[in-house]
Amino acid sequence: DLDMASSEIENRLSYKQPSVLVGRTDVVAVTPWLAPIVWEKTFNVELIDDIYKRINPTIAITVFAVGKYVKFVQDFLETAEKHFMVSFNVRYYVFTDQPHKIPSVKLNEGRYLHVKNISGSTRWQEISARRMEFIQKAIESNIGKEADYIFCLDVDSKFKDRWGAETLDRLVAVIHPGYYESDRKQFPYERRSASLAYIPMDQGDYYYGGAVFGGRVEYVYNLTKKCRKAFEKDKENSIEAAWQEESHLNRYLLYNKPTKVLSPEYLWQDFKDRTKEAQVIRFSGVIKNYKEIRPN
């Protein structure tokens, strides 16, 4: 009725008029298949938050902390509480071989921590790649019922600035900060045709980082299932892709295009100086001594 309509209008946010002509010109903010590429100043924070608040989704994060990587959990969680989906419902799922070493971090309202016990491995490549399997199984057993969206992230990282609802979509991947200026021939895709992660030299859109992927739970479920299968099939054939599950992820995303692409603002590296395109660093890998922290 009319009364309803007017109160609805009153409750709507007022925000700056979007321009058709003025915007960022130094970066491309849309893929050739018309998925947004999320950069600072391409979205309105208040508007995005308002839209997603009305839907009130629950967002899951999965991180793995096996062996010495447990030492990264505290900073990861503390910085996520400051910057990740602030004022949304968030569930953290920490997979570890040492549950007793997971610190108890003070969480804000509507946010929960689940610790999942998994076995370790003597090979870091195996730990990294098996994440696909564990995520798939966890979606089947509970995340599928407990969350609407999921982000699967590297634990040896910190949030540094807003990571909000602008990142939500059906299938979401991030452009790796090391390769956003490179020719596709230089991408470290798997180049041996014997591997199921194979990508020929004349193909490829972007080089996506394995440290960040996500989306609607059901879309991520399909992704993890396919990547896990491909990794295991390769193993039967005694081949391991150049960058393990990251290679399989890149292959999957080439033929199953992401519906939203995050700019390298959402995956930086502490050792890398900020470039002029990345106006805000939101999430960044910490500097680590591989020899000291990896099992081999």
Structure tokens at 165: 């609802």
Closest CA to 262 of 283, 246, 286: 283
Residues 63, 80 contacting (CB under 8 angstroms): no
Is 156 annotated among the ligand-binding residues? yes
Give the angle subtended at the CA of 43 by the CAs of 39 and 44, to the nearest 5°.
140
CB of 172 to ligand UD2, least distance (A): 15
Nearer to ligand UD2, 43 or 179 (CB): 179
| Residue whose CB is less far from ligand UD2, 52 or 163 | 163
Q: How far is the CB of 98 from ligand UD2 (least distance, A)?
A: 10
> Over the range 250-267, which residues count as b (16 or more CB within 10 Å of their CB) and which as e?
bbbbeeeebbbbbbbbbb
75 marked as binding residue: no
- Residue ranges in the chain assigned as alpha helix (H): 2-11, 45-55, 73-83, 124-129, 131-138, 144-146, 217-236, 244-255, 290-293
Known binder of ligand: residue 176? yes
Nearest approach in angstroms of CB 16 to ligand UD2 is 35
Sign of CA dihedral 24, 206, 38, 280: negative
Q: Tell the smallest beta-carbon distance from residue 91 to ligand UD2 (Å).
A: 17
Strands 268-269 and 283-285, how do they pair? parallel
Residue among 128 and 263 whose Cβ is closer to ligand UD2: 128
Whose Cβ is closer to ligand UD2: residue 43's or residue 180's? 180
Q: Taking the alpha carbons of 238, 242, 244, 248 in that order, is the dihedral positive or negative? A: negative
Three-class DSSP category at 73 = helix
What tokens does 186 get?
A: 């230089």
The answer to whether 64 is a known ligand-binding residue is yes
DSSP state of 273: P
* Nearer residue to ligand UD2 within complex by CB, 146 or 245: 245
Q: Please name which of 132, 140, 151 lies closest in space to residue 241, comparing C-alpha atoms.
A: 132
15 labeled part of a ligand binding site: no
The label of the residue with tokens 């629950």 reads: 58
Give the binding site for ligand UD2 (CB under 6 A): 63-67, 69, 124, 127-128, 154-156, 176, 209-211, 243-246, 285, 294-295
Question: Is 109 part of any known ligand binding site?
Answer: no
Catalytic residues: 246
**Residue 247 CB, nearest approach to ligand UD2 (Å):** 8
Annotated binding site, which residues?
64-66, 69, 154-156, 176, 246
Annotated binding site for UDP-N-acetyl-alpha-D-galactosamine, which residues?
64-66, 69, 154-156
Annotated binding site for Mn(2+), which residues?
154, 156
